[in-house]
Amino acid sequence: AYYNLPRVLLLIMDEQSMQIFVQEQIMKLTTFGGARDEDVLHWLQDTECIFDQVQLQSSNKYLAIQSYLGDAPLKWFRFN
């Protein structure tokens, strides 16, 4: 069992597990394209929830969210 493993190995496993968790959560994010049938508030809530789950700092959220915006929303984001 885990109690027989060296502490360093357990820390590495924990880091690997966290990295996998973060990757899985980030893959769940969808791009917001700005279409009339897209609910921006719902998209923002989902995105914020995932960012919080992976413990993304506020300053990094600002940078990361730009990767999940389509052309028109990205232009709006950059100029507002």
SS3 assignment, position 5: coil
**28-52 tens-digit pLDDT:** 899 999 999 999 999 999 999 888 8
pLDDT of amino acid 65: 93
Domain locations along the chain: 21-79
Cα atoms found within 13 Å of the Cα of residue 56, Cβ hemisphere only: 21
pLDDT of amino acid 17: 80
Cα atoms found within 13 Å of the Cα of residue 66, Cβ hemisphere only: 10
Q: Is the pLDDT of residue 79 over 90?
A: yes
